[in-house]
């Protein structure tokens, strides 16, 4: 009788263990699912926050605001027709070191120039034919040519040669972006294939590096 009781108790415990085992699986699944849900909620919250931050950024940096800053401080202008090159050949043919070549993208603070120079410079450089008209034609027709240099100053990017910079005497920075031929050295000759493909300082670096290597090998 007692043996039977123990036996049935054993059966009972075994079945409880099995049932618990079976029960644990869905519990585990439920726990895992809950974790997943929490992650999903977190993702949703993060997305909402990203959205809010993006919106805040967009609002603070809205185009009207950027335009105002540009008008007041930066003075960036759209690239002009001369700053686009048609193909690779035209790009390779660019000669930045020549006097009429493009200005390279680099941060170059303008040297402050005397006010008198600034007043004269646009007349001499920016638009030569127009300037002649200003100088020679009678006062009645002269104003016709006045808006032209101003319009040019508004549209055309920073003039190419350093002499013309005074047209914007208040501007702190050279402000043409010439992405195609950007180099860290502003006035390095770039595309003369035979001798100046690499600029001198770079060649010097290579040479000194090679010397150092040969020395260390000895």
Partner 1 sequence: MTTLVARPVPARRGNEQRHALVAVAHVRLMILMLLIMAGFVLVIGRIALLGILSAPAGAANLVVNPQVRGDILDRNGQPLARTIDAWTIGVRPPQLLGDRQDLADSLARLMPGHDAGWYFQKLTMRAKFTYLEKHASPDLVNKVHALGEPGLVFAREPERLYPQSTMAAHVLGYIGPTATDAHIAGRAGIERAFDERLSDPRRRGEPIALSIDARVQAAMESELGRAMTNFKAKAATGVVLDVHTGEVISMVSLPVYNPNKISGTSSDALRNNVTQSVYELGSTFKPIAMAAAINDGVITDMTRRFDATKPLKVGRFTIHDDRGDPKRWLNIPETLVYSSNVVTAQIADRMGKERMAAMFTALGFGERPAIELRERAGPIWPRYWGRTTVMTTAYGHGIAITPLHLANAYATLVNGGIYRPTTLLKVAPGAAPKGRRVLTEATSARMRQLLRLVVLLGTGRKGDAPGYRVGGKTGTGEIAGAGGYSRSKNVSTFAAAFPMDAPRYVVVAMLDSPNGTAETFGLTTAAWNAAPVVGRVISRTGAMLGVTPDTSRDIDVSQLLPLVWTGDKKPAATAE
Q: Which of residues 150-189 bind partner 1 (CB under 8 A)?
A: 151, 154-155
78: contact with partner 1 by CB under 8 A = yes
Cβ 216 to partner 1 shortest distance, Å: 51
33: contact with partner 1 by CB under 8 A = yes
3-state secondary structure of 173: strand
The number of residues that bind partner 1 (CB under 8 A) is 46
Cβ 36 to partner 1 shortest distance, Å: 8
Cβ distance 77 to 175 under 8 Å? yes
- What's phi and psi for 178, nearest 5 deg? -120, 80
Nearer to partner 1, 40 or 74 (CB): 40
Nearer to partner 1, 92 or 212 (CB): 92
The piece of 30-38, 97-105, 107-115, 172-180 that touches partner 1 (CB under 8 A) is 30-38
Angle in degrees, 0-180, between the axes of helices 147-155 and 128-136, rounded to the nearest 10: 160
143: contact with partner 1 by CB under 8 A = yes
Cβ 147 to partner 1 shortest distance, Å: 5
26: contact with partner 1 by CB under 8 A = yes
Q: How far is CA 172 from the centre of its chain?
A: 19
**If you search the block for the tokens 């993208």, which residue do you land on?**
105
| Count of other CB atoms within 10 angstroms of residue 171 | 16
**How far apart are alpha carbons 205 and 78 in whole angstroms?**
37
Q: Which of residues 79-108 bind partner 1 (CB under 8 A)?
A: 79-82, 84, 86
Ordered alpha helix ranges (H), the chain: 2-60, 63-69, 88-92, 115-121, 128-136, 147-155, 200-217
**How far apart are alpha carbons 214 and 197 in whole angstroms?**
25
Site string for partner 1, 39-68 (x = CB under 8 A): -xx--x---x--xx-xx--xx--xxx-xx-
**How far apart are alpha carbons 94 and 85 in whole angstroms?**
9
| Count of other CB atoms within 10 angstroms of residue 9 | 10
73: contact with partner 1 by CB under 8 A = no
**List of residues contacting partner 1 (CB under 8 A):** 5, 8-9, 12, 19, 22-23, 26-27, 29-30, 33-34, 36-38, 40-41, 44, 48, 51-52, 54-55, 58-59, 62-64, 66-67, 71, 78-82, 84, 86, 143-144, 146-147, 151, 154-155
């Amino acid at each position: 009788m007692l043996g039977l009781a123990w036996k049935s108790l054993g059966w009972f415990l075994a079945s409880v263990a099995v049932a618990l085992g079976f029960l644990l699986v869905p519990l585990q699944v439920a726990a895992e699912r809950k974790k997943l849900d929490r992650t999903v909620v977190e993702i949703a919250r993060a997305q909402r926050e990203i959205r809010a931050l993006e919106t805040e950024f967009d609002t603070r940096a809205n185009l009207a605001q950027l335009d105002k800053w540009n008008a007041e401080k930066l003075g960036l202008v759209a690239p002009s027709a001369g700053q686009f090159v048609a193909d690779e050949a035209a790009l390779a043919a660019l000669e930045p070191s020549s006097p009429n070549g493009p200005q390279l993208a680099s941060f170059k603070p303008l040297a402050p120039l005397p006010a008198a120079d600034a007043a004269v410079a646009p007349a001499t450089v920016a638009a030569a034919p127009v300037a002649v008209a200003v100088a020679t034609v009678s006062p009645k027709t002269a104003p016709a040519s006045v808006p032209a240099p101003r319009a040019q100053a508004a549209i055309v990017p920073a003039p190419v040669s350093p002499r013309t910079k005074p047209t914007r005497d208040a501007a702190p920075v050279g402000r043409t972006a010439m992405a195609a031929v950007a180099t860290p050295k502003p006035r390095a000759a770039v595309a003369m294939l035979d001798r100046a493909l690499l600029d001198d300082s770079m060649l010097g670096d290579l040479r000194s590096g090679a010397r150092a290597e040969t020395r260390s090998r000895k």
